[in-house]
């Protein structure tokens, strides 16, 4: 089955292996003094699992701020390993990073993935983090889930970053059908679910700050999805458009890297992590 929201086609296993190798190398180089806990359960299904990264330091009195990371893959594939390279970057900034897996369609159709996002957020809020400083980040289908979560639970989140995220599922349904994209959204949603499952249709009284990152040449989810949500919430949603940008937010290289750094900085500003803790102060004192 071809799926329009899967970033790397299954016909290109060499590309998938190269991406996995790159992520592992970046994760190894970037994980100095970062602790990681794989296999943290948030439900009974084998897919309901988190991996958590934390700075190897004494935490603030109220707990670290935290970000929940949600992978893409068209709701039918993908894995939390997509964040192996990114998650340590949060930890080094004093932000706990929790990447989640979730139940996938077509075995588990909508709203299973959204239910899992809520359950994973509850698990994170119950951990030793500061529940007043939590954000969510996702790409593609994960960005859609991140926006749904943030707009349904604005009281629990300081902000949301959504990259290449669909916001209007009826429009996406119309967009994918002429392209001959196979079952596509039909593998995940019933048609009468599309409107309610669209971030653009949600109307919270006080939505959290949103950062939308989108390539203006995205052939999978047109940039109009991000523009429409930014227009809906002009005071709460900020849009970074990448000229000639792709769906994966990886090309063109320099603008894509700059947008990712801006998103990291944006999360840091919202969560206001503390500086290095007592362990680092003791080390400096010992050198005098």
CATH classification at residue 273: 3.40.50.1820
CA distance 17 to 23: 10
Q: Is residue 71 part of a domain?
A: yes
* pLDDT tens string 50-97: 999 999 998 899 999 999 999 999 999 999 999 999 999 999 999 999
Query: What average pLDDT score do residues 235-253 get?
Result: 97
Q: Is residue 5 part of a domain?
A: no
Tokens 């292996």, residue located = 17
Q: How many domains does the chain contain in total?
A: 1
pLDDT for residue 288 is more than 80: no
Angle at 159 between CA 157 and CA 161, to 5 degrees: 130
Token digits for 251?
A: 């090309």
Helices 112-125 and 141-152 cross at an angle (nearest 10°) of 60
* pLDDT tens string 106-143: 999 999 999 999 999 999 999 999 999 999 999 999 99
Q: What is the pLDDT of residue 81?
A: 96
3-state secondary structure of 139: strand
Q: What is the pLDDT of residue 24?
A: 60
How high does pLDDT run on average in the chain?
89
Q: Is residue 8 part of a domain?
A: no
pLDDT for residue 17 is more than 80: no
Tokens 């002009």, residue located = 234
Q: Is residue 6 part of a domain?
A: no
pTM of the model: 0.89
Q: Is residue 281 part of a domain?
A: yes
Q: What is the pLDDT of residue 72?
A: 98
Q: Nearest to residue 280, comparing CAs of 52, 30, 60, 53? A: 60
Q: What is the pLDDT of residue 275?
A: 73
C-alpha torsion sign, points 271, 159, 88, 248: negative
Token digits for 282?
A: 């003791």
pLDDT for residue 1 is more than 60: no
Q: Is residue 155 part of a domain?
A: yes
| Cis before 111? omega within 30 | yes
- Contact in structure between 119 and 134 (CB atoms under 8 Å): no
CA distance 288 to 285: 6
Q: Which has more confidence, 222 or 181?
A: 222
Q: Is residue 92 part of a domain?
A: yes
Q: Is residue 132 part of a domain?
A: yes
Q: Domain containing 225: what range?
A: 13-287
- Containing 238, the helix (H) or strand (E) segment is strand 237-242
């Amino acid at each position: 089955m071809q799926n329009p929201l899967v970033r790397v086609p299954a016909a290109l296993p060499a590309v998938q292996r190269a991406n996995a190798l790159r992520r592992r190398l970046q994760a190894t180089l970037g994980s100095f003094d970062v602790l990681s806990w794989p296999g943290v359960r948030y439900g009974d299904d084998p897919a309901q699992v988190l991996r958590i990264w934390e700075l190897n330091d004494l935490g603030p009195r109220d707990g670290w701020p935290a970000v929940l990371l949600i992978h893409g893959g068209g709701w039918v594939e993908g894995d939390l390993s997509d964040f192996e390279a990114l998650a340590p970057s949060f930890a080094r900034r004093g932000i706990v990073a929790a990447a989640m897996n979730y139940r996938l369609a077509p075995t588990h159709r909508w709203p299973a993935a959204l239910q899992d996002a809520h359950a994973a957020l509850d698990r994170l809020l119950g951990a030793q983090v500061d529940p007043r400083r939590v954000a969510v980040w996702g790409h593609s289908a994960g960005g859609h889930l991140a926006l749904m979560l943030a707009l349904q639970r604005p009281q629990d989140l300081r902000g949301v970053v959504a990259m290449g995220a669909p916001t209007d599922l009826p429009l996406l349904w119309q967009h994918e059908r002429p392209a001959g994209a196979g079952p596509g959204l039909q593998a995940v949603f019933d048609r009468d679910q599309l409107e309610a499952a669209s971030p653009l249709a949600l109307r919270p009284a006080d939505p959290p700050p949103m950062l939308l990152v989108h390539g203006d040449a995205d052939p999978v989810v047109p940039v109009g999805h991000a523009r429409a949500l930014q227009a809906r919430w002009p005071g709460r949603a900020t849009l970074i458009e990448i000229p000639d940008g792709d769906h994966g937010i990886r090309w063109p290289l320099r603008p894509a890297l700059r947008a990712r750094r801006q998103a990291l900085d944006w999360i840091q500003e919202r969560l206001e992590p503390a500086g290095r803790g007592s362990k680092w102060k003791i080390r400096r004192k010992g050198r005098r």
